[in-house]
Chain A
Amino acid sequence: MAFNVLIVDDSSTMRSVIRKTIEMSGFDVGQFFEAGNGREALSVLDKEWADIILTDLHMPEMDGRALLKALHAQATVSTTPVVIVTTEGREERLDELLGMGARACIKKPFRPEEIRNILMDVLGMDEEAMQDKEALEGCDF
């Protein structure tokens, strides 16, 4: 079972770091999509089916906070889990984002295990469920 991941960050270097970290973590990715800011992310989501969105906060044009708001206004993507990836350390700021519907916050830099645990948790997949699912995928019915 593979998940499609959208990475939103204005730094292409940071996008590929995040991408590599996720790849290293063993998290099963179907497709990666990338966007340089919130607006680009919305246009990617118009065409592509993402299961989880990782977004930076400070970006030109449309920042992570505005993206979070925009996602909630659209029926098809309002339930897609959003994880904030940031250097922001202030608790009240992160609490505000969680209150706006972000499912988790992760501070840069992060280790592969950390991101894997967060992604699995946000998607509701524990290890046991993954094993069950893998067993089921092999079934004919």
Chain B
Amino acid sequence: MKDIKVLIVDDSAIVRKIFTEELSRERGIQIVGTAPDPYVARDKILRLKPDVVTLDIEMPRMDGITFLKKLMKYYPLPVIIVSSLTRNGGKLALEAIESGAVEVLSKPGTAYSVGDMKQQLADKIRAAARARVSQREKETPVEEAPVKLTTRALKETTNKVIAIGASTGGTEALKKVLTRLPATIPGVLVVQHMPPNFTTAFAERLNNICNITVKEAENGDSVLPGRALIAPGNYHMLLRRSGARYYVSVKTGPMVCHQRPSVNVLFSSSAQYAGANAIGVIMTGMGSDGAQGMLEMRQAGARTIGQDEASCVVYGMPKEAAKAGAVEKVAPLDRIAQEVINLL
């Protein structure tokens, strides 16, 4: 396979230097250039034709979002957003994803060591290089509350739990699924591979546009109908049960499949504590996180759905889950909310 050509756009010379040094040692990745600002970046994109661009969204003069919007219009290519771990950085990162970026990454800092960062960045670059970028332009706006649950269905479903895992392309995909769920839906647990604070901004954003309540999970939060809990960045989220009450345990621990939060961790705990009452959904993303956990769910009698190849930004995690025999039903993104309801 040809090397993935990467251009690094960042106003900090230190970040450019660290990224270049760290990534140059990664097999299959070639840093073709760096740029300190959007104007130089454009020149280099035209000249060097990178496969993937990493972009700092907090830059002087032309902000990263403006540059990104123009880039996606005139020379669409996979862009990974690099942002600080601040609250505002999280909001900007989300806006960037809505503007067409495929991945977000936090700058090295307290939450991640340079080693973790390097691994994550390399993984994200490989995922981004496989991402379908043009697909985003064709996306249609989300329809308003298209589905209704009957009261009968609700009565039968109070002990159900819906566990969803996603990575690259997942923020936009999750938005499509969660906005279509009615307020009567059983409790939803979501793992989206994302850095801390980005998940906070993500949960807030979803909460504003969904019929259900969306909250970044805190340790001990109850799993309640009409509420989705998003695993916070840098922590695993596990389903637990105390009597008739489901709740989540949010805790640190080693990365699983290079990820924290990991979909496998959520799915395994769902298999263990909800068994046949769980519904598992595995969505767009690179890698194999979730496959093993979903297989455990399936073996425990849970119903499972995998996103189909055509609607995935990167067809990785659902593919691995399907290969493992964990996926019961394959569905396009537009149908996933409905399929979940059908399984209740």
Partner-B contacts on A (CB < 8 A): 1-3, 30, 47-49, 51, 75-76, 79, 123-125, 129, 133, 136-137, 139-141
User: Which residue on chain A has the smallest CB distance to residue B66?
Assistant: A79
Q: Is B73 an interface residue (CB 8 A)?
A: yes
How near does chain A come to B15, taking the closest CB pair, in angstroms?
9
User: Which residue on chain A has the smallest CB distance to residue B43?
Assistant: A2
Q: Given contacts A30-B43, A139-B36, could you give 13 more A-B pairs where the C-beta distance is less than 8 Å?
A: A1-B37, A2-B43, A3-B39, A49-B73, A124-B60, A129-B61, A133-B37, A133-B40, A136-B36, A136-B40, A139-B13, A141-B16, A141-B17
How many residues of chain B have a CB within 8 Å of chain A? 20
How far is A139 from B62 in the complex, measured between Cα atoms in Å? 21
Q: A76-B73, A125-B61, A140-B34 are in contact. Are A1 and B13 (CB under 8 A)?
A: no
Q: Are B13 and A75 in contact (CB under 8 A)?
A: no
From DSSP, what is the main secondary structure of chain A's interface residues?
loop
How near does chain A come to B221, taking the closest CB pair, in angstroms?
36
Q: Is B69 an interface residue (CB 8 A)?
A: yes
Q: Are B73 and A1 in contact (CB under 8 A)?
A: no
How far is A51 from B66 in the complex, measured between Cα atoms in Å? 11
Question: Which residues of chain A are near B70, meaning CB under 8 Å?
Answer: 49, 76
How near does chain B come to A37, taking the closest CB pair, in angstroms?
22
Q: List 18 A-B residue pairs with CB atoms under 8 Å apart, sorted by A's residue number.
A: A1-B39, A3-B39, A47-B74, A49-B42, A51-B39, A76-B69, A79-B62, A123-B61, A124-B60, A137-B36, A137-B40, A139-B13, A139-B34, A140-B20, A140-B34, A141-B13, A141-B16, A141-B34
How near does chain A come to B163, taking the closest CB pair, in angstroms?
35
User: Which residue on chain B has the smallest CB distance to residue A137?
Assistant: B40
Question: Which residues of chain A are near B13, meaning CB under 8 Å?
Answer: 136, 139, 141
Question: Which residues of chain B are near A123, meaning CB under 8 Å?
Answer: 61
B48-86 contacts to A, CB under 8 A, are: 60-62, 66, 69-70, 73-75
How far is A1 from B41 in the complex, measured between Cα atoms in Å? 9
Question: Which residues of chain B are near A125, meaning CB under 8 Å?
Answer: 61
Q: A141-B13, A141-B17, A141-B34 are in contact. Are A124 and B43 (CB under 8 A)?
A: no
Question: Which residues of chain B are near A3, meaning CB under 8 Å?
Answer: 39
How far is A51 from B39 in the complex, measured between Cα atoms in Å? 9
How near does chain B come to A10, taking the closest CB pair, in angstroms?
26
Question: Which residues of chain A are near B43, meaning CB under 8 Å?
Answer: 1-2, 30
Which of A49, A124, A129 has most chain B Cβ within 10 Å?
A49
Question: Which residues of chain A are near B42, meaning CB under 8 Å?
Answer: 49
How near does chain B come to A15, taking the closest CB pair, in angstroms?
23
Q: Are A141 and B66 in contact (CB under 8 A)?
A: no
Q: Are A124 and B16 in contact (CB under 8 A)?
A: no
How far is A26 from B75 in the complex, measured between Cα atoms in Å? 28
Question: Which residues of chain B are near A47, meaning CB under 8 Å?
Answer: 74
How far is A3 from B61 in the complex, measured between Cα atoms in Å? 13
How far is A123 from B61 in the complex, measured between Cα atoms in Å? 7
Question: Which residues of chain B are near A141, meaning CB under 8 Å?
Answer: 13, 16-17, 20, 34
How far is A140 from B70 in the complex, measured between Cα atoms in Å? 25
Question: Which residues of chain B are near A1, meaning CB under 8 Å?
Answer: 37, 39-40, 43
> Which residue of B20, B69, B75 contacts A75 across the interface (Cβ within 8 Å)?
B69
How far is A137 from B20 in the complex, measured between Cα atoms in Å? 16
Q: Are B74 and A2 in contact (CB under 8 A)?
A: no
How near does chain A come to B96, taking the closest CB pair, in angstroms?
13
User: Which residue on chain B has the smallest CB distance to residue A47?
Assistant: B74
How far is A79 from B70 in the complex, measured between Cα atoms in Å? 10
Question: Which residues of chain B are near A124, meaning CB under 8 Å?
Answer: 60-61
How far is A140 from B35 in the complex, measured between Cα atoms in Å? 9
Question: Which residues of chain A are near B39, meaning CB under 8 Å?
Answer: 1-3, 51, 133
User: Which residue on chain B has the smallest CB distance to residue A81?
Assistant: B62
